[in-house]
Amino acid sequence: MCPHLFGLWTFLTPGVNSNPLIRWALVNPTEYDFLLVACVFSGYHALRRKLKYMHAIFQQNQPKICNPLLRVAWTVFADAFCVEARELNVHFKQFSVASFLDFICNQGEAPDCLCNAPFERDVPVSLRTDGRGTT
């Protein structure tokens, strides 16, 4: 039910069912559904391992995660998901933070925590006008 997990899964493998019982292969499962669950499993556990070793900037039960850490989390999940998908011959879409942000903000059904967050688009440092780079 996590909106981030569902958003990533939907982005990486278009056509994923919005019903969690079908998506998690609990109702009318197919072999392909189990392969997708295996890819999600790999992404989820890769992210857990990464966050375990980032304890200096991520505390357990932290209510909000800053944008840079959220981007790291999305990328770690997507990288592991795609490696597993490639090994299992599962079709997947290449991940980039910019394309994922565009996807979640334009899909129409994205939860507020994903599309209304104050994300910064991927703007080269040299083009920023917010004092964090040259203008």
HEC sequence for 84-123 = HHHHHCCCCCCCCHHHHHHHHHHCCCCCHHHHCCCCCCCC
79 or 54, which is more confident: 79
Q: What percent of the chain has pLDDT over 90?
A: 48
pLDDT single digits (tens) 58-74:
666 666 667 788 888 89
